[in-house]
Amino acid sequence: MKIVVLNHKMNLNYEEIKKYIKALENYKDKVVIMPSSIYAGKFIDNNYKTGLQNIYCEDKGMFTGEISPMQAKSLGIKYVLIGHSERRNIFKEDDELINKKVKSALKNNLKVILCIGDNLNENINEALLKQITNDLKYINEDVIIAYEPVYAIGTGQVPSVQDIEKRITYIKSLVNTKVLYGGSINSNNIKELNKISNLDGYLIGSSSLDIEEVIKILEVVV
């Protein structure tokens, strides 16, 4: 079964979250929800597979505003997203910090989804190799990888099926693991994307906020 991860980013208010939880009731086994962390407990209480969009690299201490993998684990969080391009670009997270976060999350038995991606105008394989090598340095445990070309995030600009397939093959030649695709996935392009034979799932941003879109996508994928 393909993994479908719904990344809400910093969206939805509490009333919308309550509606969302009810509306996806029949689909909860088919998705991993990554809400704003303040709502994570609510999803867990309603038996959703729940993940965090970010995590810190220490278990506890004087790190105002951060959430630790140990805390996440104790709440029932199953997955964490690490290294999303918005964290890398807006919050200036570098490969060294990302590597520490991955290690710390794995130590707490969380399933890590490491996001990697290329910018336009750079050598794609070099960019992916650099991120994989640095982010997974000294790590032997299984880590799921999400391939998100930076220019495809929130833009409607999706690479061709052949190009995505090529990148997935390349990533799998470096790391023997599950690979997800993310970037402008919606109910119109999911049929085409679902033809990619070596893909293990999807990481969905904007379309994950719209219940009807989510259901249409799931009907194709699952």
Active site residues: 84, 148
Structure tokens at 191: 């049929």
| Closest CB to ligand 13P among residues 64, 153 | 153
4 three-state secondary structure: strand
| Beta bridge pairs of residue 85 | none
Separation CA 54–CA 65 (nearest Å): 12
| Closest CB to ligand 13P among residues 108, 207 | 207
Separation CA 91–CA 39 (nearest Å): 22
Separation CA 78–CA 111 (nearest Å): 6
Residue of minimal Cβ distance to ligand 13P: 205
| Closest CB to ligand 13P among residues 58, 203 | 203
Q: Min. distance of Cβ 220 from ligand 13P in angstroms?
A: 15
Give me the residues that bind ligand 13P (CB under 6 A), please: 7, 84, 148, 153-154, 182-185, 203-207
Q: Min. distance of Cβ 163 from ligand 13P in angstroms?
A: 16
Separation CA 76–CA 172 (nearest Å): 29
115 phi/psi in degrees, rounded to 5: -90, 130
Q: Min. distance of Cβ 128 from ligand 13P in angstroms?
A: 16
